[in-house]
Homo-oligomer: A and B are copies of this chain.
Amino acid sequence: QAFKVHKGMGLINHVFNADSLKKLYVSNLGIGHTRYSTSGISELQNCQPFVVETLHGKIAVAHNGELTNAVRLRRKLMRHGVGLSTSSDSELITQLLAFTPPLENDDTADWVARIKNLMNETPTSYSLLIMHKDIIYAVRDPYGNRPLCIGRLIPVGDMNGKGKDNSETEGWVVSSESCSFLSIGAEYYREVLPGEIVKISRYDVQTLDVVPRPEGDPSAFCIFEYVYFARPDSIFEGQMVYSVRRRCGQQLAIEAPVEADLVSTVPESATPAALGYAQKCGLPYVEVLCKNRYVGRTFIQPNMRLRQLGVAKKFGVLSDNFKGKRVVIIDDSIVRGNTISPIIKLLRESGAKEVHIRVASPPIRFPCYMGINIPTKEELIANRPEFHDLANYIGADSVVYLSVEGLVSSVQESIKARKENENSLKTQKSRVGKIGHCTACLTGEYPVELEW
């Protein structure tokens, strides 16, 4: 039962090249992990999955999230005599799984008991894959803060036209985002529920337990996945991210309409919101910028103008499309405020008569302690004096954000509709509990108390 481990820093296709994949290929079971790492802590040593040998064999652990009580857990482990090799929360999880007492008489390891023990030690946030022998355990924290979903590898229909045959299953895959399934020939099966421990074997997916939240606590899936991080074709809580973003655009049109000639966006994450806004307003959707695909780190900076352009350098201007017109630009979020400003300048210099900004999310004001890398409070535009006269600061004719209530209702609208429907059918209600979302970065209301 020796695990084969391959890790590396850099692009996935460089790390997992033909050579390294050949070494891993004889297996029919595996877990992987990728993350964007800021330089300071990007050591190979911190790369997941973490593999350790325990008295009951090797386990490998992949973790998405950040523990809200990590400091206390570190001290607890070190007090027990465990030397910790990294600053990673994921090592804590791995050692907690190895360490769980009572050990002396624990001759047949009860991994479910160990996982539940871990879940009692820390409330959030973690989505986990734990591999042991020929089993993978998929675990989501009781608040469901980080996503996790299951896909089904489906067999190929024979080539003579009978088409695919969905009745069989060739295997199971687990991922943070469902959008990854299509490219490997799998289809979306279902989400792992908040608090659920799922056991996955070669042909079977089985719920072992669902650890509940404290009485009255709603679930707390990260609302920023909808707004910004997830790919538009991903499905969370039964709805496509693209549809949520279009609804945000529609809601924004209701909250903040504007007299204008056309609606556009900065390519390309806010396109669904822009199309939603345009449709709701009855204005034409028009492209005003095209991406400069070949821009990279450029060393040529001969004059101040170039430095002024900055971000705008990344785009080409389709000036014929908006010369002399009033333009509404839909953006998905304004974090620091230094991206949109030169774009507005560029549009004006290329002939736009007016430039109005509508942001399809509320302003970010608070740090995230549950795994999302957000700038410091001081860097966030919404916490700075300029925010009080933002339109002037960024050079727009007007700027309006979507309200928190507008965002939450755009996200929860179809979930609630479906839930009411389900309620009448009495399905699964008890398992999921009260539906909520983590809006901590917008409101400062964290789903659990933070420990230091």
Query: B99, B155, B285, B318: which contacts A233 (Cβ < 8 A)?
Result: B318
Task: Assess A302 versus B85: contact at CB under 8 Å? Given A55-B78, A242-B318, A243-B320.
Answer: no
A243: which B residues are within 8 A, CB to CB?
320
A300: which B residues are within 8 A, CB to CB?
21, 184
Q: List, sorted by A's number, 18 A–B pairs whose CB atoms are closer than 8 Å.
A: A44-B44, A79-B104, A80-B81, A81-B103, A82-B82, A82-B95, A153-B303, A179-B292, A183-B295, A184-B302, A185-B303, A185-B309, A231-B290, A231-B292, A233-B316, A240-B319, A242-B321, A275-B287
Q: Tell me the minimal C-beta distance from A112 to chain B in angstroms.
A: 18
A11 interfacial by beta-carbon distance below 8 Å: yes
Binary contact track A38-68/B, C-beta < 8 Å → 1, others 0: 0000011100001111110001000000000
A118: which B residues are within 8 A, CB to CB?
none
Binary contact track A65-92/B, C-beta < 8 Å → 1, others 0: 0000000001100111111110000000
Q: Tell me the minimal C-beta distance from A299 to chain B in angstroms.
A: 5
**Contact (Cβ within 8 A) B306 A287:** no
**Contact (Cβ within 8 A) B83 A103:** no
Of A12-20, A131-139, A220-228, the one touching chain B? A12-20
Q: Tell me the minimal C-beta distance from A113 to chain B in angstroms.
A: 14
Task: Assess A18 versus B299: contact at CB under 8 Å? Given A5-B43, A55-B78.
Answer: yes
A324: which B residues are within 8 A, CB to CB?
none
Complex CA–CA separation, A92 to B78 (angstroms): 16
Q: Tell me the minimal C-beta distance from A104 to chain B in angstroms.
A: 7
**Contact (Cβ within 8 A) B287 A271:** yes
Task: Assess A53 versus B318: contact at CB under 8 Å? Given A21-B300, A156-B305, A306-B185.
Answer: no
Task: Give A159-203 interface residues, CB cut-off 8 Å to B.
Answer: 159, 164, 170, 179, 182-185
Binary contact track A305-323/B, C-beta < 8 Å → 1, others 0: 1101100111011111100
New A-B contacts (19) at CB < 8 Å, excluding given A79-B104, A272-B287? A12-B294, A16-B299, A21-B300, A44-B44, A44-B45, A50-B85, A53-B85, A54-B83, A55-B75, A78-B98, A83-B97, A153-B303, A155-B303, A179-B292, A182-B312, A183-B314, A231-B292, A232-B290, A275-B287
A428 interfacial by beta-carbon distance below 8 Å: no
In the A-B complex, the 4 residue pairs with the smallest Cβ-Cβ separation, listed nearest first, are A52-B83, A83-B98, A233-B316, A81-B99
Total chain A interface residues with beta-carbon distance under 8 A: 89
**Contact (Cβ within 8 A) B231 A316:** yes
**Contact (Cβ within 8 A) B183 A318:** no
**Contact (Cβ within 8 A) A290 B242:** yes
A297 interfacial by beta-carbon distance below 8 Å: yes
Task: Assess A159 versus B304: contact at CB under 8 Å? Given A85-B52, A183-B292.
Answer: yes
Q: Tell me the minimal C-beta distance from A267 to chain B in angstroms.
A: 9
Complex CA–CA separation, A290 to B179 (angstroms): 10
Complex CA–CA separation, A31 to B183 (angstroms): 43
**Contact (Cβ within 8 A) B296 A11:** yes
Query: B44, B94, B284, B285: which contacts A83 (Cβ < 8 A)?
Result: B94
